[in-house]
């Protein structure tokens, strides 16, 4: 058995590839340095070195001489037979392994390509959710600010304004058209909000005609005025109402007139009112206009301070932009004349 093992080892060594001899790196020496070295070495030594180098046979490039190696083996009860290597079967195993690896390559590549696809799907889903969230935020913010704007549009354009504006609502106009007219007139802020509010509150019966409306009116106030109905012709804007209680003297009436506020054509003050009722030219004019009422008027030299005292009818009067002190006193005298017109005959009989 040992002999067989030694023979097998010899066969392996003989079949082993030869190892090339390690190249010797020779450092190039400059010519000047070489000349110096030659001068330092004695001539006899140089000749001896040359002769010895010529006597050495050239080495072969590759070691082709087989080398025997002594191998010692540990003694065993039984020495297993040496397995022979079948190169053909080994090559087939390598070929089948490579084929298996090539077959597994598409599977691995498919698995590797699945992961980026999953990541891509996740990124798309994430982007979709972010987009939906942003849209919800925008819709919520739009609804919030839209509600705030609608609430603001229902409020008066100018709460402190006392100015009236004449507005005409055409015949057959619908709610949307009415809202557009009011917005253009400056009575409301937004015609669309007016239309939506009227429909939401189910307001109906908005009538055509001429209206005197204020900027200090809310949308609710404007709708109530439109439900009352307008006039066929434009009316002068009323700025205030003046109420004269029964039994008021001329001075008390003058004080009440002086409390009126508004953008009048001329100032309506208590002093201006008292000055006008004492104006003889104005009194003569009124006597000619209302002869039945003022025929018993005290004379100028009667000593009466206010000759028109008791001739101004107590009632509520509409003060318009064109109202003056003179026109106001004339309205009071006209109201008194109208109320006494049916009693003039009886009054004359008594006199």
The CATH number of whichever domain residue 204 belongs to comes to 3.30.1490.480
DSSP 322-351: T--HHHHHHHHHHHHHHHHGGGHHHHHHH-
Residues 328, 258 share a domain: yes
Residues 246, 325 share a domain: yes
Residue 73: inside a domain: no
Query: Where does a domain end: 173, 206, 228?
Result: 228
Residue 154: inside a domain: no
Rounded Cα distance, 225 and 309, in Å: 39
Instruction: Count structural domains, the chain.
Output: 2
Q: What is the pLDDT at residue 123?
A: 78
Residues 199, 242 share a domain: no
Rounded Cα distance, 201 and 226, in Å: 15
Is the entire prediction scored with pTM above 0.95? no
Q: What is the pLDDT at residue 195?
A: 92
Q: What is the pLDDT at residue 60?
A: 47
Residue 310: inside a domain: yes
| Domain region containing 208 | 164-228
Digit-by-digit pLDDT tens for the chain (351 residues) are 556 655 665 666 666 555 555 555 444 545 555 555 555 555 554 555 445 555 444 444 444 455 554 545 454 444 444 444 454 554 555 556 655 555 555 555 555 555 566 666 777 777 888 888 888 888 888 777 777 877 888 889 888 887 778 899 999 999 999 999 999 999 999 999 999 999 999 999 999 999 989 899 999 999 999 999 998 988 887 788 899 999 999 999 999 999 998 778 788 999 999 999 999 999 999 999 999 999 889 988 888 899 999 999 999 999 988 899 999 999 999 999 999 998 888 877 776
Q: What is the pLDDT at residue 281?
A: 95
Residues 345, 249 share a domain: yes
Residue 36: inside a domain: no
Q: What is the pLDDT at residue 106?
A: 52
**Helix (H), strand (E) at residue 288:** helix 280-289
Residues 315, 259 share a domain: yes
């Amino acid at each position: 058995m040992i002999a067989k093992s030694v023979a097998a080892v010899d066969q392996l060594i003989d079949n082993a590839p030869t190892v090339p001899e390690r190249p010797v790196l020779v450092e190039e020496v400059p010519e000047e340095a070489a000349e110096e070295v030659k001068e330092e070495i004695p001539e006899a030594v140089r000749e001896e070195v040359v002769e010895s180098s010529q006597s050495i046979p050239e080495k072969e490039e590759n070691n082709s001489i087989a080398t025997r190696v002594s191998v010692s083996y540990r003694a065993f009860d039984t020495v297993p037979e040496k397995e022979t290597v079948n190169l053909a079967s080994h090559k087939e195993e390598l070929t089948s392994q490579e084929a298996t690896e090539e077959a597994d390559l598409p599977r691995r590549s498919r698995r590797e390509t699945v992961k980026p696809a999953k990541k891509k799907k996740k990124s798309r889903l994430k982007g979709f959710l972010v987009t939906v969230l942003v849209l919800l935020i925008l819709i919520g913010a739009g609804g919030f600010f839209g509600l705030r704007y609608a609430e603001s549009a229902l409020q008066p354009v100018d709460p402190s304004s006392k100015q009236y504006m004449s507005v005409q609502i055409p015949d057959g106009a619908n709610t949307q058209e009415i809202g557009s007219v009011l917005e253009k007139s400056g009575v409301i802020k937004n015609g669309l909000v007016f239309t939506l509010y009227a429909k939401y509150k189910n307001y109906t019966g908005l009538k055509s005609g001429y209206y005197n409306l204020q900027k200090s009116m809310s949308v609710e106030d404007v709708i109530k005025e439109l439900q009352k109905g307008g006039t066929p012709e434009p009316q002068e804007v009323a700025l205030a109402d003046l109420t004269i209680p029964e039994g008021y003297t001329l001075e008390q009436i003058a004080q009440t007139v002086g409390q009126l506020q508004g953008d009048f054509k001329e100032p309506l003050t208590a002093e201006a009112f008292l000055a006008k009722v004492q104006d003889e030219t104005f009194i003569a004019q009124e006597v000619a206009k209302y002869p039945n009422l003022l025929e018993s008027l005290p004379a100028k030299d009667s000593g009466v301070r206010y000759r028109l005292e008791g001739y101004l009818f107590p009632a509520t009067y509409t003060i318009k932009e064109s109202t003056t002190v003179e026109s106001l006193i004339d309205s009071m005298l006209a109201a008194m004349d109208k109320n006494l017109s049916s009693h003039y005959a009886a009054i004359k009989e008594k006199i």
